[in-house]
Structure 1
């Protein structure tokens, strides 16, 4: 965001010389109402453009800023964009969670009379983080079964393996187990990656913590869970080696490694695969690359939340690949390669894994026909404020379009009424509002971020869920790379189909003169392949 702000500010220096030429821009997403137009409106991306166009009719010139295949999330406004907004009467966008750049743009624009319509204002939007149930772990469930944890020791030493077993008092067929840890009762529960059975195998770190187990049913709701169990780490005076495998844990934890006679000053570990940022629940997939040829393969990965924390080894990460599901907090990670004497041979520089949830809000509000009506009303009010004489036109047009949106909503309700299978599998987690509105279940291969590809283990997990639920179709977004969806479909013997998230209007639909209502009906038809 800072980089964008600087770029936009620099571009704004040239605005005065561009204002006259900006009006000559020819854009696919522009409607010229000619002499009848009373106001000029700039919209951010496709749904905002169509909603505004439906309301304005011939009374406004409506232009589209993000067109074609541009990414509405990470778009960088040009000098001409700044000029157009400077010259406009109204700017329409959805929310900062969708258009990350909108705030910087508006800070740069020098138009005191500009009316800004943030179409998501006043909505009761929900946190659609796919991993909320697992991360927060604040469940309500009807089962009276209790989970008992056994195998605990009185205390553990750093580096010692903690081996626990979760047993359910009754006999059920569910086997979808998850384990969670937290530092204390004031901390959030974090799901432990790689612990997918009723047994818990975890290497003790430096600090006490709590652990609990949860069993999920076939609907992926919590069936039963254990009470929190405290793990006591007692290292006494650290006068002896508590590590069964011979590692010097003091060296591992503070990483003040000595070379111990090895001449490997040129050996460096480079971490590749890091994304600019992640959302909670995304999987961080990194590779540690050693720039020399050695036979050592004893890898360990460590994390810490800030420079004042000690490094803690991450259990289950014992190869040069790092495959880790994020929670809500940013952290640093580094890789260490040990030699045959269990001494650190080389280690990487620490890299920052940045968690940016943008308030954990799913931005795809326009995909809910009810919320879309509220967005239409917000845009209508902004146009009326800019052009009071056009109030009757804007009001009438908005009412007509909202009637179409209500009919669309009723079509969705009727189509899904009585459906027994209410689960659908998507490549990108963009359909949470449809899921919530119509009581469906969206299983997402990836998270809200389109930048982070799911890990092989996540793809395998989705494959298992597809087989469990019997989902017949894997959906991917129009314009997106479908390789991941195709991989899951091939491995599970299912088909692939397109769902439109409408972040942009696909070229083939634009050429067919199809709009929002048409595309949403296409989505409904596609969803009915799964929702039956």
Structure 2
């Protein structure tokens, strides 16, 4: 071996040794840093995030996977997001019927280190009444309706499931989680009573909406949801279905057609234009912008907005 090559190899070995010392040294410094006592909690979409924040209070760093405007039904997590789930103390989702990707992700999660919370645990889901389109036949078929959070009473059950998950991960703060959950479920009960009072004695109990997300709400308060499309935000009605709905709206003197701001209102606009009805927002609360959150708008406020909107139809 030449003297030059020997010197080069010695030089490289010395360089790697220096790098190793630097990396180990940095790691030691990082290890020396005090770790946060807060739980790390990953939630899927907005209602799960809001419910969890209300129960966890200051005891957890809660993050949200799906930002506002993301199609909840068609979402697939990135590798980075899957890594965030696997590194979290707690992972909270609504149901495998809503977040259809969860079952495959859970196969790679070590449940010894991450508490997994199915917020719909113990809740009976309603069967879907939608007519299946070609789009759904390709794999977005909903046999049951996953929008349980739009019923304040079922939202209370989800909150209690979330509370149990947080306690399982952090028993030291059990009392705080119990107290926070009780306070929040009392707010949900007040919300429920507002809906009950508003619709008590109503003789006109039907509403027409583009997105079939409100079956649980309708079921809770003895209302009838008539949907233009199905549960999937991407589904569109056939021309025959749209013509049938036009006749229905005219014959039943329907004054308002509801749509969600987070999805296209094209079909609702078409139906409204053909029947001289007005457009009104009915929010499935699948996402909320950071700007609205900063204004103090949350799940309960959006549900109150929905109540005010529905009162225009339910009389």
Whether the TM-score (by the shorter chain) exceeds 0.5 is yes
Matched, 1:282 2:132: yes
**1:499 Cα shift?**
0.6
Which sections of structure 2, spanning at least 5 residues, go unmatched? Answer: 1-33
Contact 1:282/1:446 (<8 A) preserved:
no
Alignment of 1:341-356 (within 5 A): 353-354=137-138
- 2:178 equivalent to 1:395: yes
Report how far residue 472 of structure 1 moved.
0.6
Q: Work out the CA distance in 2 between the residues paired with 1:356 and 1:44.
A: 18
Cα RMSD of the aligned pairs, angstroms, is: 1.9
Counterpart of 1:104? 104
**Paired residues of 1:54 and 1:397 also in contact (CA < 8 A):** yes
Deviation, structure 1 residue 427: 0.3
Structure 1 residues 507 and 386: alpha-carbon distance in aligned structure 2, compared to 1, 3 A threshold: closer
Query: What's the offset of the Cα at 1:86?
Result: 1.8
Q: Give the SS at the match of 1:425.
A: strand
Q: Within 5 A, what are the aligned runs for 1:379-394?
A: 379-394=162-177
Report what 2:212 is aligned to.
429
**How many residue pairs were aligned?**
282
Aligned position for 2:53: 53
Give 1:110 shift. 4.2
Give the alignment of 1:224-239 within 5 angstroms. Answer: none
Q: Which residue of 2 aligns with 1:212?
A: none
In the superposition, relative to structure 1, how do residues 52 and 37 fare at CA in structure 2: closer, same or farther (>3 Å)?
farther
Q: Does 1:467 align with 2:246?
A: no
- Tell me, yes or no, if the aligned pair for 2:233 and 2:263 is still in contact at 8 Å: no
Give the aligned partner of residue 339 of structure 1. Answer: none
For 1:363, the equivalent position in structure 2 comes to: 146
Report the 3-state secondary structure (helix = DSSP H, G, I; strand = E; otherwise coil) of the residue aligned with 1:108: coil
CA spacing shift, 1:354–1:73, aligned 2, 3 Å = closer
SS in 2 for 1:104: helix
1:153-198 deviation digits (Å, cap 9, x = unpaired): xxxxxxxxxxxxxxxxxxxxxxxxxxxxxxxxxxxxxxxxxxxxxx
1:6 maps to what in 2?
none
Shift of 1:37: 4.3
Distance 2:287 2:121 in 1: 21
TM-aligned CA deviation for residue 47 of structure 1: 0.4
Aligned to 2:69: 69
- Cα distance in structure 1, aligned partners of 2:148 and 2:42: 20
Question: For 2:308 and 2:290, how far apart are their aligned partners in 1?
Answer: 20
How far apart in 1 are the matches of 2:52 and 2:228?
A: 33
Greater shift in the superposed pair: 51-60 or 446-455: 446-455
Corresponding residue number in structure 1 for 2:3: none
Alpha-carbon distance between aligned partners in 2 of 1:106 and 1:355, rounded to the nearest angstrom: 20
Tell me, yes or no, if the aligned pair for 1:37 and 1:58 is still in contact at 8 Å. no
Matched position secondary structure for 1:443: strand
Query: Which structure's residues are more often helix, by fraction?
Result: 2
**Partners of 2:56 and 2:177 within 8 A in 1:** yes
Change in Cα spacing, 1:111 to 1:439, as seen in structure 2 (3 Å) is: closer
Normalised by the length of structure 1, the TM-score is 0.51
Pairing 1:417–2:200 present: yes
Structure 1 position 399, deviation (Å): 0.2
Aligned residue number for residue 269 of structure 2: 486
Contact 2:67–2:289 under 8 Å retained in 1: no
| Runs of 4+ off more than 4 Å | 34-37, 353-356
1:323-367 per-position Cα deviation (integer Å, ceiling 9, x unaligned): xxx9xxxxxxxxxxxxxxxxxxxxxxxxxx547544x21000000
Deviations 1:99-152 (A, max 9, x none): 01111111123453211000001012221424xxxxxxxxxxxxxxxxxxxxxx
SS in 2 for 1:377: helix
How far has the Cα of 1:437 moved from its partner? 0.3
The alignment status of 1:116 with 2:116, answered yes or no, reads yes
Q: Which has the higher contact order (CA 8 A, sep 6+)?
A: 2
- Aligned counterparts of 2:248 and 2:86: Cα–Cα separation in 1: 50
Separation in 2, partners of 1:526, 1:507:
23
2:76 pairs with 1:89: no
Separation of aligned partners in 1, 2:192 and 2:242: 32
- Residue pair 2:73, 2:232 contacting (<8 A) in 1 also: no
Greater shift after overlay, 45-54 or 61-70?
61-70
Partner of 1:451: 234
Rg bigger for which structure?
Answer: 1
Per-residue displacement from partner, 1:7-42 (whole Å, max 9, x unpaired)?
A: xxxxxxxxxxxxxxxxxxxxxxxxxxx987431111
1-side partners of 2:295 and 2:35: how far apart?
A: 28
* Residue in structure 2 matched with residue 43 of structure 1 by the alignment: 43
